[in-house]
């Protein structure tokens, strides 16, 4: 008898990993006894559009796709949207009635989905638990999801240590991240700028008094690099994201994942605080300047330099030391490109 597995996705960011698992289970071989379904629960219309494009780019479709219709990033709005996400996820779980559901990462939308799965009595697997990001409320959300989960697919050795030995949890599997599997198959799919370019990917520091002080520091520092074009990526839907989009002069989240990976691969340096600078950038050998504390505690590679928010001079010096530099290609502490196979084998043991 086949097992019904539901993969939950909430943004183009988590789809980097979840999508590879979906492709392996639905389009690949070796998953003959799985009935796969994909549930997409997004925060805002822009995030929904971006995720639908990402899913389509992988030649897949969501079985159920719902949007919370978040319009502003103020705390009451986020709380109401989280409640709506829980309701939408509960309806999806009721309709599909899976045996297992998998959620990934640390987003508030994912916590809502994980709660719905747990309340429905469905077995829950969590991909990406055990990490730390002390400069964001995502850190506590991730731990909340971990506490709800029946099985844990961790992406690096530090996370495995925290969950298996520090917290003494059972069913902890060190699988690596399917996002690294995607990098092994990546092909450039966008036209690059003629000039050397700096890639900016900033996410608000949601535990700070000023969530975008680091972004103000970045924008001031980039004025010292007039010979480089600056390309910016829109933030997720969090406290401070509306302000960040205005500061970056962004109006939508329309960049396809494959296009973003191409930019990450070829930029002179990535500046910001996105987890992609920690997880994916090492594989391409891309130099990264990580600003602020959002990623504090997350395992990182030698390609990353950390600087505090608020000091333009320090940031300019850090960018100068990294710009145009390349590190060893094909290395990442987050996997070897076989995470999908590792997760499949883990599920076979669980089922």
Contact 280, 261 (CB under 8 A): yes
Asked if the domains at 3-180+335-350 and 197-322 fall in one CATH topology, the answer is: yes
Name the average pLDDT for the chain: 94
> Exposed e or buried b for every residue in 9-22, given b needs 16+ CB within 10 A?
bbbbbbbbbbbbbb
Q: What percent of the chain has pLDDT over 70?
A: 97
Instruction: Kindly indicate the confidence band of residue 173, based on its pLDDT and cuts at 50, 70 and 90.
Output: very high
Binned at pLDDT 50, 70 and 90, residue 331 comes out as: confident
Query: Given this model, what pLDDT does residue 200 score?
Result: 97
Q: Which is the CATH superfamily of the domain at 197-322?
A: Glycogen Phosphorylase B; (3.40.50.2000)
Of 31-35, 120-124, 171-175, 343-347, least confident by mean pLDDT is: 31-35
Q: What's the 3-state SS for the chain?
A: CCEEEEEEECCHHHHHHHHHHHHHHHCCCCCCCEEEEEEEEECCHHHHHHHHHHHHHCCCCCCEEEECCCCCCCHHHHHHHHHHHHHHHHHHHHHHCCCEEEEECCCHHHHHHHHHHHHCCCEEEEECCCCCCCCCCHHHHHHHHHHHCCEEEECCHHHHHHHHHHCCCCCEEECCCHHHHHHHHCCCCCCCCCCCEEEEECCCCCCCCCCCHHHHHHHHHHCCCCCCEEEEECCCCCCCHHHHHHHHCCCCCCCCHHHHHHHHHHCCEEEECCCHHHHCHHHHCCCEEEECCCCCCCCCCCCEEEECCCCHHHHHHHHHHHCCCCCCCCCCCCCCCCHHHHHHHHHHHHC
- pLDDT tens digits, one per residue of 190-215: 889 999 999 999 999 999 999 999 99
Residue 254: pLDDT band with limits 50, 70, 90: low
Question: Has residue 119 got a pLDDT over 70?
Answer: yes
Q: How confident is the model at residue 318 (pLDDT cuts 50, 70, 90)?
A: very high
Do residues 141 and 105 lie in contact, with contact meaning Cβ atoms separated by under 8 Å?
A: no
Could you give the CA distance from residue 177 to residue 193 in angstroms, rounded to a whole number?
30
55-82 per-position pLDDT tens digit:
999 999 999 999 999 877 677 788 999 9
For the chain, give every domain's residue range: 3-180+335-350, 197-322
| pLDDT, greater one: 101 or 73 | 101
Q: What is the mean pLDDT of residues 254-274?
A: 92
Is residue 290 pLDDT above 70, yes or no? Answer: yes
* Band of residue 251 on the pLDDT scale cut at 50, 70, 90: low
Longest dimension (CA), the chain: 63
Q: How confident is the model at residue 33 (pLDDT cuts 50, 70, 90)?
A: confident
User: Is pLDDT at 253 greater than 60 in this prediction?
Assistant: no
- pLDDT over threshold 70, residue 332: yes
Q: Which two tokens stand for residue 41?
A: 């629960």
Per-residue pLDDT of 210-249, as tens digits, reads 999 999 999 999 999 999 999 999 898 999 999 999 999 8
- Calculate mean pLDDT across residues 292-308: 94
Read off the pLDDT band of 296 (50, 70, 90). Answer: very high
What's residue 321's pLDDT?
Answer: 98
pLDDT at 252 over 70: no
The owner of tokens 């970056």 is 248
Partner residues linked to 305 by β-bridges: 289
30: region left, alpha or beta (phi > 0 left; psi from -120 to 50 alpha): left
Question: Going by C-beta distance under 8 Å and a sequence separation of 6 or more, which residues neighbour residue 144?
Answer: 111, 114
The rounded distance, in Å, linking the Cα atoms of 245 and 119 is 36
pLDDT of 29 over the 80 cut: no
> What pLDDT, on the 0 to 100 scale, is given for residue 74?
72
d(CA 9, CA 110): 8
pLDDT-based confidence at residue 325 (cuts at 50, 70, 90): very high
Q: What's the whole-number mean pLDDT along residues 46-56?
A: 94
pTM: 0.94
Cα separation of 28 and 292, whole Å?
40
Specify the CATH superfamily of domain 3-180+335-350: Glycogen Phosphorylase B; (3.40.50.2000)
State the distance between the two ends of the chain, measured CA to CA, in whole angstroms. Answer: 11
């Amino acid at each position: 008898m086949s097992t019904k597995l539901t993969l939950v996705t909430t943004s183009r960011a988590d789809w980097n990993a979840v999508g590879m698992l979906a492709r392996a289970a639905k389009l690949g071989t070796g998953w003959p006894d799985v009935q796969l379904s994909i549930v997409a629960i997004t925060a805002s219309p822009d995030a929904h559009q971006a995720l639908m494009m990402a899913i389509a780019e992988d030649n897949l479709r969501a079985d159920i796709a719902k949007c919370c219709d978040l319009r502003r990033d103020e705390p009451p709005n986020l709380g109401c949207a989280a409640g709506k996400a829980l309701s939408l996820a509960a309806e999806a779980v009721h309709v599909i009635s899976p045996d297992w559901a998998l959620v990934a990462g640390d987003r508030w939308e994912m916590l809502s989905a994980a709660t719905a799965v747990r309340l429905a009595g469905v077995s829950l697997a969590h991909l990406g638990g055990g990490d730390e990001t002390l400069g964001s409320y995502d850190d506590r959300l991730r731990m909340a999801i971990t506490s709800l989960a029946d099985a844990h697919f961790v992406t690096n050795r530090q996370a495995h240590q925290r969950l298996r030995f520090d917290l003494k949890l059972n069913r902890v599997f060190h699988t690596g991240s399917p996002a690294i599997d995607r990098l092994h198959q990546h092909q450039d799919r966008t036209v690059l700028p003629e000039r050397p370019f700096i890639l900016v990917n900033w996410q608000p520091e949601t535990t700070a008094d000023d969530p975008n002080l680091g972004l103000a520091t970045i924008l001031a520092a980039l004025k010292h690099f007039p010979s480089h074009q600056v390309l910016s990526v829109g933030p997720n839907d969090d406290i401070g994201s509306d302000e960040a989009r205005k500061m970056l002069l962004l109006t939508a989240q329309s960049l396809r994942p494959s296009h973003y990976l191409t930019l990450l691969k070829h930029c002179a340096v990535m500046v910001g605080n996105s987890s992609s600078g920690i997880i994916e950038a090492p594989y391409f050998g891309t130099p990264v300047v990580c600003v602020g504390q959002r990623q504090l505690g997350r395992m990182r590679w030698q390609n990353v330099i950390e600087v505090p928010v608020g000091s333009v001079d320090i940031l300019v010096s850090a960018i100068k030391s990294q710009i145009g530099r390349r590190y060893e290609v094909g290395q990442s502490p987050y996997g070897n490109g076989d995470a999908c196979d590792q997760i499949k084998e883990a599920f076979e043991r669980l089922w």
